[in-house]
Amino acid sequence: MKFLFDQTPFAGIKMKNRFFRSATYDGLADVRGHMTEELFQAYENLAKGGVGTIITGLTSVTTLPFLDRLYVKAI
């Protein structure tokens, strides 16, 4: 029988346990969707608390100018 704290294979990767944190909107990124110290701390706290897998929420991975305009229109 599998338990929540057992190591678990998932898509060929060995997971620490069966706890997943799904992608959610937490409102801790800056106006462009970039990482802030508060967002870093939130992920760090989840990891230290024992969550085996963290799926991040909205995060910017580019600095292309047209995306900056989209972020400004959204707020």
Looking at residue 54, the DSSP 8-state letter turns out to be E
Tokens for 71, please give them: 């972020």
pTM of the predicted model, to two decimals? 0.64
Torsion (CA) 57, 58, 59, 65 in degrees, nearest 10: 170
Q: Where are the domains of the chain?
A: 14-74
Structure confidence at residue 55 (pLDDT) = 87
- Which helix (H) or strand (E) covers residue 55, if one does? none
* Predicted pLDDT of residue 58: 63
Cross-strand partners of 15? 8
pLDDT tens per residue, range 12-69: 989 889 898 988 888 888 877 788 999 999 999 999 998 888 888 765 566 666 555 5
CA pair distance 69, 59, nearest whole angstrom: 16
State the Cα–Cα distance between residues 8 and 19, nearest whole angstrom: 10
> What was the pLDDT predicted at 42?
93
